[in-house]
Structure 1
């Protein structure tokens, strides 16, 4: 399984389900809990399963957890479930991505997961502030558009994510390795 494809596909929930701070915090919580439960379930199984059997098991565990999570959202908070759309189901891709990165990166994978949740909250806050001018902490549905309409749409989220990542890169400059600079 190609990790770069999984990483690209895991951006869809980040961009689509972060219209408001409440939606973003719900997705961050769902992502964090599902990925941690997935890693907890897969940890004892990694000893016995390797290769294709381990990947298939990881996919089945992720799909099971996301299905249970979706059914729980249907039962307990249908308004939130409808506001989030299809994006909670895509958390299974993030489970697979973090499953692959735990073996190679270890502790860095958990820092990445925390950073991903912070990015959800930051993007949801900025998008809601730009679209409506204020944070509405009572309504799950999209913001009342009184400001910049582009901020409430997915392309606007992609643009804001690019600006945020550029600001983070500017604030935390690192020396590029020769491989990253394009020199052979």
Structure 2
């Protein structure tokens, strides 16, 4: 079993693809928490009953079922929200299978919650920054999460001419993520005394 980090777990695809708006990052993270929580509980019940040869097939079937159900719930709750992030919800099934293979669901629940929370903070932060820089708005389409059908409220408009369009595209998200990682690594940290 690998260390309980989500390395090699394909989290970069939803992180860059869906965080063009704050509501998208928050929404995918909420669905991620729901699907991975249900997947972890179901696999805990099934793991001891499965033969090793059927473990991967069962986890793929379970993950696909859970993400399909989540996608259908999103369609009934808020169709515009589902249309905006629906492609990435399907990737959560693959995410669950990879996390299961890496031993993520065998770790302590506090460690899983910490790592999932860290992923959520990153999703929400990147969505917030990309929306601010790319659109010049804050909280656009938040009514999608509430299931509202009217699109009367467009968020707080901070710039009349929008923003830097590149920030809302996936390459812009990758550039922004790289800049954030570089800033994090350049931030001075106190060193322990010898």
Normalising by the smaller structure, the TM-score range is 0.7 to 0.9
Instruction: State how many pairs are aligned.
Output: 172
1:156-167 correspondence runs (5 A): 156-167=172-183
Q: Per the alignment, do residues 92 and 120 of structure 1 end up closer, same or farther by CA in structure 2, a change over 3 Å counting?
A: same
Cα RMSD, aligned residues only: 3.0
Q: 2:147 maps to which residue? A: none
**1:48-94 residue CA offsets vs partner (Å, 9 max, x unmatched):** 22533112111111000001011111222101011114111111122
Q: Where does structure 1 lack aligned partners over 5 or more consecutive residues?
A: 176-184
Distance (Å, rounded) in 1 between the aligned partners of 2:8 and 2:86: 20
Q: 1:92 maps to which residue? A: 93
Q: 2:125 maps to which residue? A: 122
More helix by share: 1
Q: 1:33 maps to which residue? A: 34
Q: CA deviation at 1:171?
A: 4.3
Q: 1:53 maps to which residue? A: 54
TM-score, normalised to structure 2, is 0.76
Q: CA deviation at 1:16?
A: 1.0
Q: Where does structure 2 lack aligned partners over 5 or more consecutive residues?
A: 145-150
Name segments (4+ residues, structure 1) moved above 6 Å: 141-145
TM-score, normalised to structure 1, is 0.79
| SS of equivalent residue, structure 1 residue 48 | coil
- 1:146 pairs, out of 162, 175, 192, with 162
- 1:135 pairs, out of 108, 115, 138, with 138
